[in-house]
Amino acid sequence: MRSSLLRILALIQKEFLAVLKDPRSRFIIFLPPMLQCLIFGYAASFDLNSIPYAVFDQSHSAGSAAFLSHLDGSGIFRRQADLVRIQDISTWINSRRALLVIRIDQDFERRLLAGEPAQVQAIADGRNSNTAGTALGYFESVVEAFNAVWRANHGQAGPPLQIVTRSWYNPNLDSRWSMVPSLIGTLTMMGTMMLTAMSVAREREQGTFDQLLVTPFRPFEIMIGKAVPNMVIGLAQSTTILLIAQFWFHIPFVGSFVVLYAGLTLFLMAAVGLGLFVSSIAATMQQAMLFAFILILPFALLSGLTTPVNSMPAFLQSVMVINPLLYSLDLTKRVYLEGAGFAQLLSDFLPLTVIGLVTLSGAAWLFRRRLT
């Protein structure tokens, strides 16, 4: 037992040296996760900071001017043009010069003064449904604010009920709070799987794999020796992204680091198992990178990072139960934002454990067959 442990430690040390002395590996470990986290944190945001819109005002009254002043004063809506013909609406939408076109009827002010419902038509460019839905949501907020001010200034009775909206875990509804914690698992999986998949293939190309076969290492010792360094590197990458989320983007962490790192360890075990599985069947580094990319791309797209899992077809939902990133995203966001503990996250811990054991066992079996 002691001799086996010493052999594994020696192989772990050898793997660390092989990775850290390779300039390409050092580049993959440190620089891409930091740059990708910053880029995704700023660019991959579902929030709208500027909404270009045009107005077709048929009322030309003080009431319509007051309403438009609420839009212009919101800091988000940017008026691009005052249209004079109804045909101009389609022109501005089709040319993407306006995300919204606001149409105000002629009797807008008369209805307001009479206490009757006044209609305002908002025409949105629906080619990007997420952006259009967000813009319409902002528009509805401005309409509600205008209604409250108008009733107060004209002595009209307000509604008997008042709706007060409260958002848990993300009070400002900032999409960056959801995106950046999700990158902890996503970017780590990309780097870890790529490094792990290239580990054995790199030795085959460099000619050191045959030397490894004549050593007293057993197949399971080689597997452990190659899995542990990549898991440690993955934890270092996760920590880097976690620090960026807290100290650069100032996203408050409300959970337990013990729970988070326990989940990340299981997730990295599954990711490394997939990487070793790929590495055991790839003959060259190019094949290893290609096979790893074939796995990473669908896993990332179908993990719930950008689209809800519940909106996917039932068939894909059934297939994605083997996706470790699916459980990692749920785990990291719930721990980071919600403060969930072990009891609440059993539905994520158990599948990650099963996926890790199955992939590592499968990789060990394939690796053993390649040695015989």
Encode pLDDT of 218-250 as tens digits: 767 777 888 888 899 899 999 999 999 999 999
What per-residue confidence (pLDDT) applies to 372?
58
pLDDT digits (tens, 9 = 90+) for 127-183: 776 778 888 888 888 888 888 888 778 776 655 445 566 677 888 778 788 888 989
Report, as ranges of residue numbers, the positions in the chain whose pLDDT lies below 70: 24-25, 28, 43-47, 129, 156-166, 207-215, 219, 370-372
| Whole-angstrom distance, CA of residue 274 vs CA of residue 31 | 23
What per-residue confidence (pLDDT) applies to 33?
76
pLDDT digits (tens, 9 = 90+) for 333-344: 999 998 999 999
What per-residue confidence (pLDDT) applies to 94?
85
What per-residue confidence (pLDDT) applies to 160?
44
Percent of the chain with pLDDT over 90: 24
What per-residue confidence (pLDDT) applies to 295?
86
What class does CATH assign to 51-154? alpha beta
Domain(s) of CATH 3.40.1710.10: residues in the chain: 51-154
